[in-house]
Structure 1
Amino acid sequence: MKNSSKLETLDRRIVEQLQKDASISHADLAERVGSSPASCWRRIRALETAGILAANVRLVNPEKVGRGVNVICNIRVRSHARDVRAQFEAFVRTRPEVMECYSMSGEWDYLLRIVAADVADYEEFLMRTLLEHPSVGGAASHFALSTTKYTTALPV
């Protein structure tokens, strides 16, 4: 059970259902995937042990908690030295407004998805926090006008 290409059909159905609603009971899950509750429970434990299933979380509506502005921010670091990149990555991990961070190939070094209350809130973070970090050499921000698609469910 090392990767999804080796998942059995029943395991795939379980993973698909849990990605839709992780709070579902084992009985309801078993009914939806055509198995017994005990079998589902054993398979879920095996999927967790294999690292395929991770933490159960509840998704929060960003607009309802005052974080409705999505910003995609490209970052260029001052140096590609290992310690500089490590400092930047450690810094990013501490910032709750940074929802995602990817090390990139191409013109920019990192791509961040940042949530903010409004443009002024983002400007404050950008000017007083992000651009002040010693490893950051430059940034380009792109504001999302709307969300066409957002999902946390992976195709299995």
Structure 2
Amino acid sequence: MDAIDRAILRELQRDGRLSNAELAERVRLTPSPCLRRVRQLERDGVIRGYRALLDGDAVGRGFQAFVTVALAQEDRETVAGFEATMAERAEVVEAHRVFGDTDFLLRVAVADLPAYERFNTEVLLALPGVARVTSHLTMKTVKADQGLPVR
């Protein structure tokens, strides 16, 4: 990956809807080589996809919580069952298995506090093997995901 590829990645992270002509202009290429580079970055898996960033309030998911989950036992079946459930749940917008005192870090997006309480009680605490759930409620977003730094 060279400096032009990195410039393409930076620009597409800022605005994934750029036309190829606009992208080419921003990275100082002509459109054809620019498109070839973008397609190669896609084929190589560097660019995994494109999507719109939504306003949580506008789509009824304005209440977000970061949740740490500790499992009572970490056998293969318990971990796999927990991971499968988290992957299926629409409320869970991110799920990470982590090192440390807890086993998972989740980002949960729901409509409001009562919806979160239902998810916490009826889903998380009802799963076999869950020992502890700690909720960190979002007061405000200081810095949202802006993509990965590309140097």
Same fold by TM-score greater than 0.5: yes
CA distance in 2, matches of 1:144, 1:23: 29
Tell me, which stretches of 5 or more residues in structure 1 are unaligned?
Answer: 1-6
**Aligned equivalent of 1:81:** 75
Match of 2:96 among 96, 99, 102: 102
Return the TM-score normalized by structure 1. Answer: 0.93
In 2, Cα distance between the equivalents of 1:90 and 1:128?
A: 16
Correspondence for 1:92: 86
Match for residue 64 of structure 1? 58
The reply on whether 1:112 has 2:106 as its aligned counterpart is yes
Q: CA deviation at 1:152?
A: 3.9
Aligned to 1:22: 16
Secondary structure in 1 matching 2:58: helix
2:30 paired residue number: 36
Counterparts of 2:66 and 2:111, CA distance in 1: 14
Question: Sequence identity, in percent?
Answer: 37
User: What is the aligned-residue RMSD (CA, Å)?
Assistant: 0.9
Whichever residue aligns with residue 96 of structure 1, its letter is A
Output the CA distance in 2 between the equivalents of 1:51 and 1:147.
30
Instruction: Report the Cα distance in structure 1 between the residues aligned to 2:87 and 2:113, rounded to whole angstroms.
Output: 22
> Is 1:141 aligned to 2:135, yes or no?
yes
- 1:73 counterpart letter in structure 2: V
Once residues 143 and 131 of structure 1 are traced to their aligned partners in structure 2, the CA distance between those partners, rounded to angstroms, is 17
Q: Is the 8 A contact 1:87 1:135 kept in 2?
A: no
Q: How many residues end up aligned between the 2 structures?
A: 150
**How big is each residue's C-alpha offset from its partner over 1:36-94, in whole Å with a ceiling of 9 and x where there is no partner?**
11011100111011110011111111111121111011101121111211111011000
Q: TM-score, normalised by structure 2?
A: 0.96
- In the TM superposition, what is the alpha-carbon distance from 1:12 to its structure 2 partner? 0.5
Q: Structure 2 CA distance, aligned partners of 1:152 and 1:82?
A: 34
The amino acid of 2:30's aligned partner reads S
